[in-house]
Amino acid sequence: MLLSNREPFTKKKSKDGEERWVQKAGGLVSALTPVMTQADGVWVAWAPDAGEASRAMVPGGGEPSFLLRSVPLSQSEVRRYYQGFANRALWPLCHYLLDRCDFQEQDWEVYRRVNARFADAVAEESREGDLVWIQDYHFCLAPRMVRERRRDRGAIAYFHHVPFPAAQVFRVLPWREDVLLGLLGADLVGFHSKNYAKNFMTSCADILGAQVDEASGQVLWQGRSTQVGWFPIGIDVDTHEAIARSPEVESQVTEIRKKVSGEKIILGVDRLDYTKGILERLYAFERLLERNPSYRGEVSFVQIAVPSRTAVEDYRNLKRKVDETVGRINGQYSRLGWTPVSYQYRGLPKEELIAQYRAADVALVTPLRDGMNLVAKEYVACRVEDDGVLVLSEFTGAAEELGRDSVLVNPYNINDVANALDFALKMHPDEQRARMRRLRSRVALRDIDWWLDESLRAAQASAEAGV
Q: What is the pLDDT of residues 176-224, one digit of tens each?
A: 999 999 999 999 999 999 999 999 999 999 999 999 999 999 999 999 9
Q: What is the pLDDT of residues 49-67, one digit of tens each?
A: 656 778 888 885 556 688 9
| 370 part of the active site | yes
Catalytic residue among 187, 270, 370, 447: 370
pLDDT at position 464 is: 77
Q: Which residues sit opposite 71 in a β-bridge?
A: 46
| 428 part of the active site | no
Query: What single string gives the DSSP state of each residue in 92-150?
Result: HHHTT-GGG----HHHHHHHHHHHHHHHHHHHHH--TTPPEEEESGGGSSHHHHHHHH-
Domain extent at residue 90: 73-233+450-464
pLDDT at position 63 is: 62
The answer on 266 and 196 residing in a single domain is no
pTM, full prediction = 0.93
pLDDT at position 62 is: 57
The answer to whether residue 277 is domain-embedded is yes
Q: What is the pLDDT of residues 288-302, one digit of tens each?
A: 999 999 999 999 999
The answer to whether residue 13 is domain-embedded is no
- Say if residues 267 and 356 touch (Cβ distance below 8 Å): yes
Q: Which residues sit opposite 212 in a β-bridge?
A: 219
The answer to whether residue 8 is domain-embedded is no
Rounded to the nearest integer, the mean pLDDT of the chain is 93
pLDDT at position 247 is: 97
The answer on 279 and 377 residing in a single domain is yes
Share of the chain above pLDDT 90, in %: 80
Q: Which residues sit opposite 69 in a β-bridge?
A: 44, 55
Share of the chain above pLDDT 70, in %: 97
The answer to whether residue 366 is domain-embedded is yes
pLDDT at position 114 is: 98
The answer on 276 and 342 residing in a single domain is yes
pLDDT at position 270 is: 94
Q: What is the pLDDT of residues 342-352, one digit of tens each?
A: 999 999 999 99
Catalytic residue among 120, 161, 387, 422: 161
pLDDT band per the 50, 70, 90 thresholds, residue 122: very high
The CATH number of the domain holding residue 213 is 3.40.50.2000
Q: Is the pLDDT of residue 467 over 50?
A: no
The answer to whether residue 199 is domain-embedded is yes
The answer on 303 and 195 residing in a single domain is no
The answer on 342 and 294 residing in a single domain is yes
C-alpha to C-alpha distance for 283 and 289, rounded to whole angstroms? 10
Provide the number of structural domains found in the chain.
2
The answer on 138 and 256 residing in a single domain is no
Q: Where are the beta strands (DSSP E) in 115-245?
A: 132-135, 156-159, 188-191, 211-213, 218-221, 224-230
The answer on 280 and 196 residing in a single domain is no
